[in-house]
Chain A
Amino acid sequence: MSEIAIPRLGLVLLVGVSGSGKSTFARQHFAPFEVVSSDYCRGLVSNDETDQAATADAFDVLHYIVGTRLRRGLMTVVDATNVQRPARAALVKVAREHDVLVDAIVLDVPDTLAVERNETRPDRDFGAHVVRRQARELRTSMGQMRREGFRRVHVLRGVDEIGSATVVREPSWNDRRDLTGPFDVFGDVHGCASELRTLLGELGWELELDGDGRAVGARHPEGRTALFVGDLVDRGPDTPGVLRLVMGMVAAGTALSVSGNHEAKLVRALKGAKVQVSHGLEASLAQLAEEPEPFRDEALLFMDGLISHYVLDGGALVVAHAGLKEAYHGRASGRVRAFALYGDTTGETDEYGLPVRYPWARDYRGRAMVVYGHTPVPSAEWVNNTICLDTGVVFGGELTALRYPEREIVSVPAEREWYAPVRPLVPAPASREPSVLDHDDVGGRQFVETAYAGRVKVPEENAAAALEVMSRFAVDPRWLVYLPPTMSPAAASTLDGFLEHPSSAFDEYAADGVESVVCEEKHMGSRAIVVLCRDEDVAARRFGISGEGAGVVYTRTGRAFFQGPTGAALVERAREAFAPLFASLGSDWVVVDCELLPWSAKAMGLIRDQYAAVGAASRVVLPAASSLLAAAAARGLDVSGLAERTARRTADAAAYRAAYAAYCRPTSGLDGVTLAPFQVLACEGRTPAVEEGHLWHLDLLGGLDHPLLTPTRHVVVDLASATSRDAAVDWWSSFTAAGGEGTVVKPASPANGRVQPGLKVRGREYLRIIYGPDYTGSLDLLRHRTLGKKKGLALREHALGVEALTRFVAGEPLWRVHQAVFGVLALESEPVDPRL
């Protein structure tokens, strides 16, 4: 019984004449979708599995399917005769393009049997000569196939061997998804044995010493595993010491190491190949020459056996010496190895003669964390969920390790400069990458994973509108860590004279199982997100923004409030006003949700164009109509109905004008402008927006005392108590009658993802500027409003906003934060009744 081992991720070609039993074999050993058959593809493109005229098109389709599956990381079996060399070569090429291994399984049966089988099948009406030709081609192929790029060619001879064969799937060498850590990942050591021992000690590792006091292994009491990103050797003072320790750890199973480019070159040198002895290779060769031969042999064997990258922890962690782009994770090919060892070289060299590398990490969008070394950097910094740990210990920098999954960075300084760098260590860049955002991050249809609402779909047409507004008007995306979601009103009230009333919101929350709610005053101004840092250094460190001040205040569409010096002055005043939060939250930065007052400060254009214009037109036309109607009545015409309606509309128009005028105050620059804060969205290490109840926020913010700030009045309602509800209704009635916009009702403590985060209940007079001056005359119609879509959007936008904050707080890459923020803006362009 033969056991056939095929790659777990790879391509398998079945090879055999027509009638050799390939399809039957495939059915027995592989799942239906894993097998792509040429006959089936012929049928797809011609309605006839035997139509030879369709062969070229059929193979186009077959190659496309195979390529797509391999790109997606799926093992694939091709069921075709594959007896001709060009046919096999085309498939080997597809496998190469996707950097996977390819095996062949040859089913070798006697020609007579194949001919016999074909004769019994109604769809195989070709003659025996076809099978005999294929058999000749197969026999010619057998000798060549081993040189055609297959990892293995498995040959099964005869019906019995074919029938009894079993298939097993081997994981590739780099596939260590079974190891889940925790890990300590070490940057380039370069023979700095002493620093390595120190760093291991810092991290709690216990060294094992041999009789001569040399470290020959290490073990962590908590069972951590060490991962080395390669370049253990060369340049430094004690390459043999480093190798001895790491080899011991790897042998004992407490460490894994990938190969660096220096190991690869040292191996070639030790094997006697002609290599240029430079870049510290001379140090290793000299030091190893001092060692006994068995150690040298062992070290050569060890280094020669190092593979170029590992995929670990279920695919969440990838370690490679020079990093690895996502398409190469878990793949095996020459170019994957070259990338892992040398990086994405452009073929150019810089002024020091060193190869120029393409900054692949800037474009990285994968979910797996990629940890690497290779290029010395002054300090380890995250770039799109990737990190370089080579902090140049051998050049007098530091030896750095990353604790995974803690994402904690631990370094020890070099004891001295062991080797003079060719190129000075690049000083910390003055400002970071201006932009690492790509159109693909936001354009087209997107799906954003959120903790609160699962996968949120952002339709393409919404993204297009958002792109226009975002790119033309929004502040720097690095500031833009949040956009506020839309909010649904409570269900229409049935109470006489009211379209909205707090009791509807209370009923709705009670039905959702919420026991206590907070009614917050809804300020009528412009929504403002305030991002503040303790100083510009914090802005540079945490937000990556230099020379643009220590904060920003932006609108619901991400646009800065006020241009130029006024905008800067607002940030400065806000920093003064919110300064106590830095201490109370223990954070150097804070994001606060506010309303900027008065409305007219920002919305003057809108007021002038829309609200005041309606007021002006009504103010003039209605009295003119009334006087004409009076004249007609004096003539004895019956216009009483019309006159009455006109009088009522005159009163409505006056009430409408009063409603918008209440939110207009003359302001000049910042004079008269205030901020009404109501929620702390995020600060270092925390996302109070989801972690804390609303009273916590209101208490904290209420404790601030500064002329810039307007407090947010609120009451707490026990939904089970009629008295408590009535008191809240009275409170709402009194301040809406005095011109207040209304209230926002929110669950007092954080609720689950299906409960609305807030419901607005707007005042009767305020609603005139939303539903029109005369809306109170059409309540019968207006009560029939559908809230489903609005509520759905409110939940999804809330989930996206919170997702953006948590991603930012967790230090995720800019594009991940931006994707969620962009989603909010995109969903805000969704057509939904704007009066809601």
Chain B
Amino acid sequence: MLLTVSTTHTPARDLGYLLHKHPDRVQQFTQSFGTATVFYPEATDERCTAALLLEVDPVRLARRRERTPDFSLAQYVNDRAYAASSLLGVALADVFSTARSGRCDSRQELADGPIPLEIVVPVLPCRGGPERAHRVFEPLGWQVVAEPIALDEGFPEWGESRYVSLRLTGTLRLADTLNQLHVLLPVLDDSKHYWQGSDEVDKLLRSGGSWLVGHPEREWITRRYLGRRGALARVALTRLAELGDDTEETLEPPDDEEAAQPEEARVPLNRQRHEAVLAVLRELQAARVIDLGCGTGSFLRALMDDPSFTGVAGVDVSASSLEIAARRLRLDRMGDRQRSRVELFQGALTYRDRRFEGYDAAVLMEVVEHVDPPRLPALVDVVFGHARPGAVVVTTPNVEYNVRYEGLEGPRHPDHRFEWTRAEFATWCHDVASAQGYDVELRGIGDDDPELGSPTQLAVFRHV
């Protein structure tokens, strides 16, 4: 992986002083994951370029990490040796640590002021493409050239890769430039597999370098950086993904409903849905409620906030979603009395489960559409036939309403196996109700379009 820093400041060879690396020497720095070399392909008084080349041997890198194993193939076949990833960010911080601090005893004035600079990163991982690179670097005062890199020239139909070739030009302070790269390389990298934790970047983010404070993308940068997941919890799932020739992303638990919709539509609808279901549960006078498919627990929190729900259970098939739910509910800090009200456990809605029994109401909020249609009868058997709660509240998208979402093509969430029209949902509900001994009442959630109905459909089943 490679990065160059050039200047046309006169005399340009002063770059050597600023970087604390002599332009006529080739210097090597051993890193825990490989070797960094600094050399100058050009060093005249008109233009001087320092290159940082990091050689990473993934085989040796992986061997070194055997104590904290990440048993996925991506650990071995990956872009670490080629792309400007978080590892380069770490090497850069280490090799140019003095320069980054802005100290330069022989040329302090130069170090304190902006100079004309050009940064080239031939291969920068940048999900979101050139557009993202512009949004991140331009507010910092850079002129940005970001060229997309084709995935495979032999297969032009595959399109672009997630990499861009990046060239930044501008007049900035060198120390700021290095700090920016140190933070932004890992942020843009967005790899699920981190090989290098860097507390230092955390610190920097928290203290918020002056350049970051005013950055319009500050929120995104911080979220992206802090939102990195611990890989270990996901290893088992990752392995199964690879085994099935799937990518890990395709196995991600459905988190945000209506992920394919703009935030403006998504957030209020989600809130409306919670409120509508809560109102139904109160109307049913349900005291013990089980949320089947609770995901990361946002609805559980709403249930816990109302003391009239004396027993609250959350079930999800995703162990990692449940972990997040437990954290969100602060289960470990709950008092005994509160804690005894709530229960979280892993379960699948196509397997009968004694733990589902004994509730006044079960909630299936935006769940049925994540089940393959041939498996729906199994879900009906498990929930209605076997668990047999006093009431079942089901919500699901109304596909007719999708035309109201601008730019939405296909389903509202990539994991939706189907989306029903009002007539289809009604048929299913009535079939289930009559076969299972329930009465059913259909309603809508969200604004009621005279032609298309509401964005979300709601059914309330009551045990006869």
Contacts and interface: CB of A to CB of B under 8 A. Distances in A.
Interface of A: 363, 431, 433-443, 461-462, 464-473, 476, 526, 548, 555-557, 559, 599, 602-603, 605-606, 608-622, 624-625, 628-629, 631-632, 635, 637-639, 642, 645, 649, 653, 657, 661, 664, 666, 769-775, 778, 781-782, 825, 828-829, 831-835
Nearest to B1: A621
Contact of B41 (A603, A628, A774, A778): A628
B53 interface: yes
A555 B245 contact: yes
Contacts of B165: 620
B350 A435 contact: yes
A478 to B, nearest CB: 10
Contact of A606 (B161, B247, B377): B247
20 contacts: A433-B381, A434-B380, A437-B351, A468-B237, A468-B348, A605-B249, A606-B242, A613-B161, A614-B78, A617-B79, A617-B149, A619-B153, A620-B165, A632-B26, A637-B39, A645-B55, A774-B59, A831-B69, A831-B235, A835-B76
Contacts of B39: 628-629, 632, 637, 639
B41 A616 contact: no
B83 to A, nearest CB: 4
A179 to B, nearest CB: 35
Contacts of A825: 240
B122 A834 contact: no
B59 A782 contact: yes
B83 A617 contact: yes
B50 to A, nearest CB: 10
Contact of A469 (B82, B83, B122, B240): B240
B292 to A, nearest CB: 12
A645 B2 CA distance: 14
B48 to A, nearest CB: 11
A441 B354 CA distance: 12
B339 interface: no
Interface residues of B, number: 86
Contact of B237 (A555, A639, A829, A834): A829
B55 A620 contact: no
Most chain B Cβ neighbours within 10 Å, of A556, A772, A833: A772
Contact of A462 (B122, B236, B246, B249): B236
A606 B242 CA distance: 8
Nearest to A611: B77
Interface string B235-255: 111011011111101110100
A471 B42 CA distance: 60
Interface in B18-57: 24-26, 37, 39-43, 49, 51, 53, 55, 57
Nearest to B161: A616
B149 A616 contact: yes
B157 interface: yes
Nearest to B74: A610
B2 A621 contact: yes
B324 interface: no
A679 B113 CA distance: 72
Interface in B371-420: 374-375, 377-378, 380-382
Given A441-B351, A829-B237, A472 B245 contact: no
Interface string B147-162: 0011111110110011
Nearest to B251: A469
Contact of A781 (B49, B59, B122): B59
Interface string B52-95: 01010111100100000101111111110111000000000000
Contacts of B153: 619
Contacts of B49: 628
Contact of A556 (B25, B26, B243): B243
Contacts of B456: none
B347 interface: yes
A632 B52 CA distance: 12
Contacts of B317: 467-468, 471-472
B37 A771 contact: no
Task: Sort A-B residue pairs by CB-CB distance and give the 9 closest, nearest first.
Answer: A471-B348, A434-B377, A435-B378, A631-B41, A465-B236, A557-B244, A617-B82, A603-B245, A831-B71
Interface class of chain A by DSSP: helix
B348 A439 contact: yes
B240 A434 contact: no
B353 A605 contact: no
B58 to A, nearest CB: 5
A103 to B, nearest CB: 34
A642 B152 contact: no
A363 B382 CA distance: 12
B2 A774 contact: no
Contacts of B25: 637
A622 B249 CA distance: 29
B352 interface: yes
Given A434-B381, A438-B353, A637 B244 contact: no
Contacts of A442: 351
Interface in B180-239: 235-237, 239
Contacts of A771: 59, 76-77
B37 to A, nearest CB: 6
A635 to B, nearest CB: 7
A617 B49 CA distance: 22
A674 to B, nearest CB: 16
Contacts of A461: 236
Contact of B149 (A436, A620, A828): A620
Interface in B240-299: 240, 242-247, 249-251, 253
Contacts of B71: 831-834
Contacts of A603: 245
Contacts of A610: 73-74, 77-78, 247
A556 B78 CA distance: 23
A657 B152 contact: yes
Contacts of A618: 79, 81-82
Contacts of A617: 79, 82-83, 123, 125, 149, 161, 163
A661 B245 CA distance: 16
Contacts of B353: 438-440
A807 to B, nearest CB: 18
A680 to B, nearest CB: 23
A465 B240 contact: yes
Contacts of B123: 616-617, 620-621, 624
B42 A637 contact: no
Contacts of B42: 631, 635
A54 to B, nearest CB: 26
A470 B236 CA distance: 13
Contacts of A778: 57, 59-60
A620 B165 CA distance: 9
B319 interface: yes
Contacts of A782: 59
Contacts of A831: 69, 71, 235-236, 239
A621 B240 contact: no
Contacts of B378: 434-435, 437
B103 interface: no
A619 B235 CA distance: 29
B74 A599 contact: no
B349 A781 contact: no
B237 A435 contact: no
B427 interface: no
B346 interface: yes
B163 A616 contact: yes
Contacts of B152: 612, 615-616, 657, 661
B6 to A, nearest CB: 11
B158 A781 contact: no
Nearest to A628: B41
A557 B382 contact: no
A617 B162 CA distance: 9
